[in-house]
Amino acid sequence: MKILSALVIGLFAVLPAGAQTLADALESALARHPVAMSAVPRAQAADALVEAAASLTPRPLSASLATLNDRLGADGGRQEWELEIAAPLWLPRQQNAQKALGASTREVVRASQRALRLQLAGELREAWWAVAAARNSEELAQRRARTAASLEANVIRRAKAGELARVDANLASSERLDAQAALATAHSERLQAEEAFRALSAMDAPETLIPERAALPGHAAPAVHPQIAADLAAAQLARDRVALADATQREAPELALRAVRDRSTRGESYSNALGFKLTLPFSLGPRARQESAAARAELAQAEGQVDLQERKLLQETGKAKRELAAGQQQLQLGRERLKLAADTLDLAEKSFSLGESDLPALLRARAAAQEAEAALKREEISLYAWQSRLNQSLGVLP
């Protein structure tokens, strides 16, 4: 029952109020996941399988009672009673194979829960950074809308004073409308991203989305990736099913104890007899071959899944490392680009206020600066997201 207690404690612990981390969100999502909720009965089923393998007989004992008399014929008083108690017997190697199957079933339950935890962590990580990206887009859209409104008011004031043409006022108003439309879209996308996170974790995304730390080599990452461990456990379960199918080529033989009490005619005393009966079933034939072939097919698929998963994780880890290295370079280039765009905008604003340049030139400089700022923030969030993906590919939990 140790596995049952561990799963109950690990999966259904009460969450602290106001949880604000990825780890808290993971616990909340796991406690409500239907597969995680089935962990307790699955653990109980595994325990029952182990207990059954440790029994003296593969199936429970059975008892039968029979009677025979001549009342429908001569009615001479013939009477016979027979009691039989039968015990099925383990076939050679069958009990050990059953014990191994029970142990591997237990391990599959444990490993699948660890793999599920990591799978949910990956989904939450993607949702976490999707919220960060959507919030950043909305924040930039709000700043653009405020700047566009301020510019429109200034241009209209100068147009009324005769300093600028009416076409400039129309252009500024058009920029303000575009900014408001972009803000509405960004607002809707932010709400959608937060709702997706809430649906997954049953929690609201925190106001501050903290980046994950890089996994330290040989420290944070598990010795065996949880998904690989789950696939290895499934492969071992398939091997044990093959062994059990090979050991069960016929139904279980039965050894029965028979007790007979009878008399020949009325008035005679009853005589008692005691004996044994051994029943040896024939081979299951096609049914046994079908079960063995199905078990071997499951084993081949499980072993192939281990190889496939190892290649997939190796590819994901390599990609995450490459994207992290590229993201760091892009981040540095983005900072330089933003610095140049901000300087250009400052010059364009001064030139426009002095009447040395027109409004389209200012709008172009402002759009370039806004795009540089948005690109820098996107690169920063993307870098954090790839760090989370690298942790995910290494099997590191939040």
pTM: 0.77
Residues 6+ apart with CB under 8 A from 59: 88, 252
Fold of 2-54+90-249+310-394: Outer membrane efflux proteins (OEP) (1.20.1600)
Q: Can you read off the two tokens belonging to residue 319? A: 């990609």
Which of these, 378, 281, 384, lies nearest to 22 by C-alpha position? 384
pLDDT of residue 73: 72
Which of these, 201, 216, 215, 191, lies nearest to 20 by C-alpha position? 201
Query: Hey, what's the torsion of the CAs at 90, 91, 95, 100, to 10 degrees?
Result: -160
**209 half-sphere exposure, CB direction, 13 A CA radius:** 22
Q: How far apart are the first and last CA of the chain?
A: 28
pLDDT above 60 (res 398): yes
pLDDT of residue 8: 38
pLDDT above 60 (res 2): no
Domain residue spans of the chain: 2-54+90-249+310-394
How far apart CA 385 and CA 132 sit, in angstroms, is 10
pLDDT bin (cut points 50, 70, 90) of residue 192 is very high
Mean pLDDT of the chain: 86
pLDDT of residue 213: 82
pLDDT above 80 (res 45): yes
pLDDT of residue 18: 39
pLDDT above 50 (res 1): no
pLDDT of residue 104: 93
How far apart CA 308 and CA 391 sit, in angstroms, is 20
Long-range contacts of 219-222 (CB under 8 A, 24+ apart): 220/391, 220/394, 220/396, 221/394, 221/395, 221/396, 222/395, 222/396
